[in-house]
Chain A
Amino acid sequence: MPTSDKKKQAVVTDYNLPDERGHFGPYGGLFVGETLMESIEELNEAYAKYMQDPEFLAELDADLHDYVGRPSPIYHAARLSKETGGAQIYLKREDLNHTGAHKINNTIGQALLAKRMGKTRIIAETGAGQHGVATATVAARLGLECVIYMGAEDIQRQSPNVYRMKLLGAKVVAVTSGSQTLKDALNEALRDWVTNIDNTYYIIGTVAGPHPYPAMVRDFQTIIGRESREQMMAKTGRLPDALVACVGGGSNAIGLFHPFIEDEAVSIYGVEAAGLGIETGQHSAPLCAGKPGVLHGNRTYLMADENGEIIETHSISAGLDYPGVGPEHSWLKDIGRADYVNINDDEALAAFHQLTRVEGIIPALESSHAIAYATKLAKTMNKDETILVCLSGRGDKDIFTIAKLEGIEL
């Protein structure tokens, strides 16, 4: 198949967003109540200061190397590529990080920042529990008090991660308001923050929230893309032809995409969760099927009803089950630099089994969405072309969900 089949994406030069108030075009920004403004200004200043501080950056680098285990390797999934037919599929192995996902790249950075700011208490929201575990982990290591907010529904669905967080010394608070899932956990964490702003640092787990979170979380996650550039050059002698990553809030995706935005030859694909199918309305795909609005501190594509009330989302993967998306993805969509596509529950599940079977790698259900799309895309490309997929997390946490779906009792 000729490469000309691929839809041409927009060429971007001198990309330097967000602006100083956190805007990516009309998206992003700072939409919070007055009570939080001072804390956010304080965070903004601290973040700007420490990202220029050689000592802070050296400590972060050392932690990423010695504690997280970076750089994570890139692996050529030769058997998967052969079975698929078409482009060569490479995997960026974020699943091999300490705690099993990319989430720790961010929590380690923000926790170091919290410590520099003199905060003694860390709070976070979590959906699947991966960000909660990554937060509880760094809090344990730095000796900080840690409270994790988690929807009561999710606590039921993800009990192994709840136990992990407790082992790590975190207090896990069940959120029973609203739909009792990730968005409600975020609401509750914001309520805690506004009540305890003097000693508390809020580690948001994705590239959403008020400015500076979308930019800050991205900057901590771009280690994924920066390593990938060098590793792909070393391995294949050139940049990949396409990047593929799953998008819930979109932190692993932006971490991979951002260092490639100005590379015209690299196509970018973000994969949303189509759940039971976009046409059913039971999905988590705001970029594919939502419209812009304001939630959790920023303007972005959202899933809401005609009155602007946020609606419940569905995905087989708890980590993608969120009605919003990072504002930078909204901008990359609008300007045509990235394509946002979707993969449904069944396709993700099939990809989960395929990767496990042919490569001996059990992927997280979130990452399985990216694998599924990569195999679709590969079929439209030549054998000598390459696709780099962010394998954002490992699937150990999902085996109970999958066993249950398949009627197997563990």
Chain B
Amino acid sequence: MSRLDKCFKALKESKQKALVPFITAGDPNADFTLSCMHDMVKAGASIIELGVPFSDPMADGPVIQQASERALANGMSLKGVIEIVRAFRETDQITPVILMGYLNPIEFMGYETFASTAAQAGVDGVLTVDIPPEESADLIAAYDQHGIAPIFLLSPTSNESRIKKVSAVAKGYIYYVSLKGVTGAGHLELDDIETKIQEIKGLTPLPIAIGFGVKNADIAANIAKIGDAVVVGSALINCITDHSDNEAQGQEAIAGLLSEMRTAMDAVTQ
């Protein structure tokens, strides 16, 4: 059984939902990211999504764009992100790690080289924002070879035929983008999300993670009632920028926010 499957099974047994923090690898530097990953696990994170910085993050709002720019300015690259995961795995063989980013760095590394290096370093899944299932056959073949789960997105505009298309190729979990727009935006309509999640659940057995717009513990708890996993990204990156003169405080703020979310989520599910 894969780390991801084990993780969702264990959560089910303890009547918990997955808490999935997203931070951009290398923002502000690789050491911070590694140390923060361990801290986030202690604070209650179930799965970690590491953003792979890209020069042209078309699906991201300003918070993650700027995180990407800071990371690139500090020399982070896809290779560097994989090295962070390798270092993380030296002491944590349990927490699944997902890479999230854009296709071009993977194209330049080559699908096979990327899949084998990432799997060997301990990456469990990869979510590539700008590749729909229609273009994914070669990439998925490489992932299958090395046991990496291809994670795909669904959105409020995904109709039944798209949900089926995505669930036919997705593994690990499906990431539901809870609002129209870019990361970090707007205001969530919980009723609309719940209706859509019901529809998706009728069409796939995979766990559903919900993200985009999860800003605080209250929202996290509400989302935990609906989905199998709650993804939080921009709110954590704001902790880093709010304490840009003091990395340790930024890291504490991230752990603090995640602990609050964990407690609030458990309170509604257990």
List residues of chain A with CB under 8 Å of any chain B CB: 21, 29-35, 37-39, 177-178, 183-184, 187, 190-191, 194-197, 291-297, 299, 302, 304, 306-311
Q: Least Cβ distance of B192 to chain A in Å?
A: 14
Is the contact region of chain A dominated by helix, strand, or loop, or is it mixed?
mixed
Listed by A's residue number, 17 A-B pairs whose Cβ atoms lie within 8 Å are A31-B130, A31-B135, A34-B153, A34-B158, A34-B166, A35-B180, A37-B158, A177-B62, A177-B65, A177-B66, A291-B108, A293-B107, A304-B55, A307-B77, A307-B109, A310-B55, A310-B104
Q: How far is the CB of B155 from chain A (nearest CB, A)?
A: 4
Q: B57 in the interface, Cβ–Cβ < 8 Å?
A: yes
Residues of chain A contacted by B102 (CB below 8 angstroms): 294
Q: Which residues of B contact A306 (CB under 8 A)?
A: 108
B109: which A residues are within 8 A, CB to CB?
A: 307-308
**B49 at the binding interface (Cβ < 8 Å):** no
Residue on A with the closest CB to B66?
Answer: A177
Q: Assess the A37–B157 pair: CB atoms within 8 A.
A: yes
Residues of A with C-beta under 8 A to B129:
33
Determine the chain B residues whose CB is within 8 A of the CB of A177 once the complex forms. Answer: 62, 65-66, 69
In the complex, are the beta carbons of A191 and B108 less than 8 A apart?
no
User: A31–B159 Cα gap in the complex (Å)?
Assistant: 18
- Are A304 and B104 in contact (CB-based, < 8 A)? yes
Q: Check if A39 sits within 8 Å of B185, measured CB to CB.
A: no
Q: B143 in the interface, Cβ–Cβ < 8 Å?
A: no
Partner of A309, one of B65, B105, B130: B105
Q: Tell me which of A34, A39, A297, A311 contacts B152 (CB under 8 A).
A: A34
Contact of B181 with A304 in the complex, beta carbons under 8 Å:
no
Residues B59 and A295 in contact, CB atoms below 8 Å apart: no
Interface extent on B, as a size class? Answer: 35 or more
Query: Which A-chain residue is minimally distant from B72 (CB atoms)?
Result: A309
Closest to B135 in A: A29
Give the chain A neighbours of B106 by CB distance below 8 A.
308
Q: Which residues of B contact A31 (CB under 8 A)?
A: 103, 130-132, 135
Q: Mark B179-200, 1 if CB is under 8 A from A, else 0.
A: 0111001000000000000000
CB proximity to A under 8 Å, residues B51-88: 54-59, 61-62, 65-66, 69, 72, 77-79
Interface string of B114-133 (1 = CB under 8 A from A): 00000000000000011110
Residue in A33, A178, A296 whose CB lies within 8 Å of B153 = A33
List 6 extra interface pairs beyond A35-B153, A194-B180, A309-B72, CB under 8 A: A33-B58, A35-B180, A190-B58, A294-B107, A294-B130, A295-B56
Residue of A nearest to B166 (CB): A34
Residues B58 and A187 in contact, CB atoms below 8 Å apart: yes
8 tightest A-B CB contacts, nearest first: A308-B108, A308-B105, A195-B181, A38-B157, A307-B77, A35-B155, A34-B153, A309-B55
CB-based contact B54/A309 at 8 Å:
yes
Smallest beta-carbon distance B158→chain A, Å:
6
8 Å CB interface, B92-117 against A: 102-109
Chain B CB count within 10 A is highest, among A32, A34, A190, A297, for A34
Judged by a CB distance under 8 angstroms, whether B177 is at the interface is yes
Q: Across the interface, do B69 and A178 meet the contact criterion of CB distance under 8 Å?
A: yes
Q: Which residues of B contact A (CB under 8 A)?
A: 54-59, 61-62, 65-66, 69, 72, 77-79, 102-109, 129-132, 134-135, 152-159, 162, 166, 177, 180-182, 185
Say yes or no: A308-B65 contact (C-beta < 8 A), given A34-B166, A37-B132, A38-B162. no
Nearest-neighbor residue (CB-CB) of A291 within chain B: B108
Cα–Cα distance between A31 and B135 once the two chains are bound (Å): 7
Question: Which residues of B sit under 8 angstroms from A184, Cβ to Cβ?
Answer: 56
Is A34 touching B77 in the complex (CB atoms < 8 A)? no
Q: Which of A21, A39, A291 contacts B157 (CB 8 A)?
A: A39
Partner of A38, one of B105, B108, B158: B158
Looking across the interface, which residue of chain A has its beta carbon closest to that of B60? A191
Query: Which one of B59, B72, B78, B108 contacts A33 once the chains associate, using CB atoms below 8 Å?
Result: B59
Also in contact, A302 and B181, with CB within 8 A (given A33-B59, A34-B153, A308-B78):
no
Q: Contact at A302–B155, with CB atoms within 8 Å?
A: no
* B77: A residues at CB distance < 8 A: 307, 309
Q: B159 touching A295 by the CB < 8 A rule?
A: no
Which residues of B have CB within 8 Å of A37? 132, 155, 157-158, 162
From residue A367, how far is it (CB to closest CB) to chain B in Å?
28
Chain B nearest CB: distance from A177 CB in Å?
A: 5
Q: Which residues on A sit within 8 Å (CB–CB) of B162?
A: 34, 37-38
Which residues of the partner chain A approach B156 to less than 8 Å between Cβ atoms? Answer: 35
A294 & B103 in contact (Cβ 8 Å cutoff): yes
* Contact, CB under 8 Å: B135 / A30: yes
CB contacts (< 8 Å) of B56 on chain A: these are 178, 183-184, 187, 295-296, 310
| Nearest CB of chain B from residue A209's CB, rounded to whole Å | 11
Q: State which of B69, B78, B154, B181 has its C-beta within 8 Å of the C-beta of A307.
A: B78
By a CB distance below 8 angstroms, the chain B residues around A293 are 104, 107-108
A311 vs B65: C-alpha distance in the bound complex, in angstroms?
Answer: 16
Q: Which residues of B contact A32 (CB under 8 A)?
A: 130, 132
Q: How far is the CB of A119 from chain B (nearest CB, A)?
A: 15
B182 touches A195 (CB 8 A): yes
Query: For residue B77, which residue of chain A has the nearest CB?
Result: A307
Distance to closest chain B CB from A37 (angstroms): 6
Complex: how many Å from CA A304 to CA B134? 25
Interface contact A195-B185, CB-CB below 8 Å: yes
